[in-house]
Structure 1
Amino acid sequence: MTDFAATRSQFHLPDGTVYLDGNSLGPMPRAARARLDQTIAAEWGDMLITGWNKAGWMDQPARLGDRIGRLIGAEPGHTVLGDTLSVKVYQALAAALALRPERKVILSDSGNFPSDLYMAQGLIRAMGGTHELRIVAPEEVEAAITYEVAVTMLTEVDYRTGRRHDMPHLTAKAHSVGALALWDLAHSAGAFPVDVSGGKADFAVGCTYKFLNGGPGAPAFIYVAPEHAEVVEPALAGWLGHDAPFAFEPAYRPAPGIARMRVGTPPVLQMAALETALDVWDQVDMPALDEARIALSEQFIAEVAQHAPMLELASPRDPAARGAQVSFRFTEGYAAIQALIARRVIGDFRAPDIMRFGITPLYLSSEDISRAASEIGTVISERLWDTPEYRRKAAVT
């Protein structure tokens, strides 16, 4: 059993604020400031370059990778951190295509995050345009998995609506036709229980600044299944993915296993902050998290329907078919979100008309949900969004 009142106390949340945007950026763990101070002063400051050995900086990507691996159901030693999510998508996709050289189709869906699609398009160009990125509607993915497909590249949870793919089922379908399965867990890791091992995923990637609360710019992770880990050839053959980085050999030799998927220098300060978030996650039972997620999201949907019946639910009604977010359609959604933020209820907006709200039991209570639903009702019914100030678009929505 998880004490969510205890986990809530371990995050810095501004007084009077209901934070429903952890699906975009998780709040700061209270321990992060002291941990960063220690890393800056006692490690970087006093140890200087010896911190790579004395403070264990070089081992952080693998050590923290295993801690994240627990949350996504990965086998120990098969998850590593570093670089950005887009880089990890590129790495995983290139590795998967190399394992199926006779096939030329990458299958994705129109609910996938655009950056993943951009990475695929760039990789196709780099490979001479010999491959095809085939994009279908989310509900058409299963039927589109044919013998032409080399790899399915899907985000488990739709970033706009929260619609959730059935990872084990679609992975099994991919394997049945000889294709590989690559999953983006950006809106899954830390949102609900994930089981990449049980679901037989070939590759998985994800970020750590959303539900995992690693802070803005926190590094991404990559998982490679055991049957592929020793044979994949990284398209980005980075120095730290070399078998002996400090031998300074002119030719690349891949490190054993998941270590070969490392590329650049690990972001030590960011990993220090992430480590404090993982200390909180160590206290969390994932089935208990899922139970609380469902209870809070069901409460939110019901109370928003009561206070603002004019909003259209964009997320699946079945909690098993959605992730840890609830989305509504509203033509003036951007302005409405700005009005809510001014009233200290923070969600976000995704074009063209999606109001998104992350449901995170680690720091949200039933009382927070009730207040948020009430404020949504006030903003919508009283048209508080209808001002030039709230219609003015900022760089980040």
Structure 2
Amino acid sequence: MIDRARELDAADPLANYRERFILPDGVVYLDGNSLGCLPAATPPAMARVVEQEWGEGLIRSWNDADWFEMGARVGGKIAPLIGAQPHEVIATDTVSVNLFKLISAALQMRPGRKVILSEPGNFPTDIYMIDGLERQGLATQRLAPRDRLLDALDEDVALLMLTHAHYKTGELFDMAALTSAAHEAGALVLWDLSHSTGALPVDLDAVGADFATGCGYKYLCGGPGAPAFAFVAERHLADLSQPLTGWFGHARPFAFADAYEPAPGIEQLQCGTSPILGLTALEVGVELIAEIGVARLHAKSQALSEFFLDCVDAHGLELDLVSPPDSARRGSQLSFRHREAYAICQALIARGVIGDFRDPDILRLGFAPAYLRFEDMAEAARHLAEVLEGEEWQRDEFNQRATVT
């Protein structure tokens, strides 16, 4: 398969973008769906902000370098990647914090309703945020399997909150159908795009989404702990009211007034002071992904995952694929179930093939198309075959549970 992989790489229109990332030698990185690789332009951009804007400009850079508007500027650059208008998106806080803000805002827009509907097995922080509001008496959690979500929509549901691409299996929801069904039931919809943004086509305005959030450190390559983003549909901006009334969300933050006056637009979703260094790194990643184009990235992602499955078949491996077999119905990943998934994952990492493990028995391999090659797919499949066929995963050092990549 290696010869076929090299033929595909030679014909890949995105091949040259690999040079725009810093990639360690001898590593096949299949964990970009947890932490994206470092763009080569990020270190000099960070150095400029640290040495010039901070080091020389000091406090003046809030105006001279436009730090104050940075959250809105970066949000505006994310907007086209998710089918939104620039004034509907702000780069701020974390996914967890943004979920709390947006859930609270939705509850206020639906007085008399307290139910937040989601699915069991959603990413934990999404459910934890509902739980936190429920413990304050502000919300009621309702979880329904994805094939029963439509049945669970009733007049008590204020908000349907789902993750577009499931973090463990990669299975996609039909955003348009579920958003429409929720609206028919009088509910609002919040989409978590953490495993979609920068890898999959998303059109929030076209599907009529109300709210969305997503992280900046996966496919957007913004670095560990990069700021997240939040989306509010234009039609809701006038009625938006979020509970974390910090000074950066004030209409006139430098008036230093005692009374809180929310900013009139998406800027209200800001809370504390913007993390300028984090936003700087995120902006570099967003610009690079936008330059490549989400449609092209998605097409290559599908091709990479399909070729990897071909390589697995060529090695005669019998793996339990838990991701949808149809690449159009999954995110930019493949997940396999194996009782020794943790040990297999660790054995692969020791060989330089970095994927990840999700409890209790999932080996998850992410395909970040901006910097991966078809040759990487062939090599990863070869290593996987050698680990499984040689029962390398049985070695003691690979079975000691520790912090998982």
Contact 1:307–1:376 (8 Å) recurs in 2: no
Q: Map 1:370-385 to 2 at 5 A.
A: 370-385=378-393
Contact 1:108–1:135 (8 Å) recurs in 2: yes
Cα separation, 2, equivalents of 1:190 and 1:2: 19
Cα separation, 2, equivalents of 1:165 and 1:185: 11
- Is 1:22 equivalent to 2:38 in the alignment? no
- Corresponding residue of 1:73: 83
Question: Percent identity among equivalent residues?
Answer: 48
- Corresponding residue of 1:125: 135
Q: 1:157 aligns with which of 165, 171, 176?
A: 165
The one-letter amino acid of 2:189's match is: A
Deviation readout 1:173-200 (Å, 9 max, x if unpaired): 0001110000000001011111111111
Deviation readout 1:68-126 (Å, 9 max, x if unpaired): 11100111211001111100000010001110111121100013100111111101222
The one-letter amino acid of 1:173's match is: A
- Corresponding residue of 1:238: 246
Cα separation, 2, equivalents of 1:251 and 1:29: 43
| TM-aligned CA distance change 1:143 to 1:304, over 3 Å | farther
Q: Map 1:216-295 to 2 at 5 A.
A: 216-295=224-303
Equivalent pairs, count = 395
The one-letter amino acid of 2:257's match is: E
Cα separation, 1, equivalents of 2:313 and 2:338: 13
The gaps in structure 2 that reach 5 residues or longer are: 1-10
- Is 1:63 equivalent to 2:73 in the alignment? yes
User: What is the CA distance between 1:136 and its match in structure 2?
Assistant: 1.4
User: What is the CA distance between 1:308 and its match in structure 2?
Assistant: 5.6
- Is 1:40 equivalent to 2:75 in the alignment? no
Cα separation, 1, equivalents of 2:16 and 2:72: 28
Contact 1:241–1:260 (8 Å) recurs in 2: yes
- Corresponding residue of 2:60: 50
Q: 1:296 aligns with which of 272, 279, 304?
A: 304
- Is 1:83 equivalent to 2:84 in the alignment? no
Deviation readout 1:214-245 (Å, 9 max, x if unpaired): 00010010000011011111111111001000
Contact 1:204–1:222 (8 Å) recurs in 2: yes
- Corresponding residue of 1:336: 344
The one-letter amino acid of 2:159's match is: V
Contact 1:86–1:119 (8 Å) recurs in 2: yes
The one-letter amino acid of 1:183's match is: W
- Corresponding residue of 1:176: 184
Q: 2:208 aligns with which of 200, 207, 210?
A: 200
Cα separation, 1, equivalents of 2:66 and 2:400: 46
User: Which aligned runs of 4 or more in structure 1 are off by greater than 4 angstroms?
Assistant: none
Q: 2:370 aligns with which of 362, 373, 385?
A: 362
Contact 2:306–2:327 (8 Å) recurs in 1: yes
Q: 2:330 aligns with which of 298, 308, 322?
A: 322
Cα separation, 2, equivalents of 1:336 and 1:373: 13
User: What is the CA distance between 1:388 and its match in structure 2?
Assistant: 1.6
The one-letter amino acid of 2:327's match is: P
Cα separation, 1, equivalents of 2:147 and 2:376: 33
User: What is the CA distance between 1:7 and its match in structure 2?
Assistant: 1.6
Contact 2:357–2:404 (8 Å) recurs in 1: no
User: What is the CA distance between 1:278 and its match in structure 2?
Assistant: 2.0
Cα separation, 2, equivalents of 1:362 and 1:168: 27
Contact 1:240–1:265 (8 Å) recurs in 2: yes
Cα separation, 2, equivalents of 1:373 and 1:138: 31
RMSD: 1.4
Cα separation, 1, equivalents of 2:27 and 2:367: 14
Cα separation, 2, equivalents of 1:304 and 1:194: 30
Contact 2:130–2:140 (8 Å) recurs in 1: no
Cα separation, 2, equivalents of 1:6 and 1:230: 44
Deviation readout 1:247-301 (Å, 9 max, x if unpaired): 1111111101101001111111111111221231232222222211111111112
